[in-house]
Amino acid sequence: MILEIVSPERSLFQGEITSISVPGVDGSFQILNNHAPIVSILQKGIVSINASSFMFSKESNDLFTKVSDQNYTLAISSGTIEMKDNKVIVLAD
């Protein structure tokens, strides 16, 4: 599935991923390939992204924390997530 993470300042990440875990207001949840369409509000917490490879721009590289070669995390203070047609869009603050 495709993930796009956008902040008010710029696009932080765009690429192919295998899963994403996010801090929803009613608890953390994970989205996998072919997940049902969903829109949710996110709260302060950690977004965890799993993918076979990652490419970050120089401007956003310092925002992500490497957990392993296939897992990176991003701290957010709030946001919104939408999943539709195997594309995930995260609007993050």
pLDDT of residue 56: 84
pLDDT of residue 58: 83
Output phi, psi for 59, to 5 deg: -70, -30
Asked if residue 57 has pLDDT above 90, the reply is no
Task: Give domain limits for the chain.
Answer: 2-92
Asked if residue 23 has pLDDT above 90, the reply is yes
pLDDT of residue 79: 98
Architecture per CATH, 2-92: Sandwich (2.60)
Average pLDDT for 59-76? 95
pLDDT of residue 36: 96
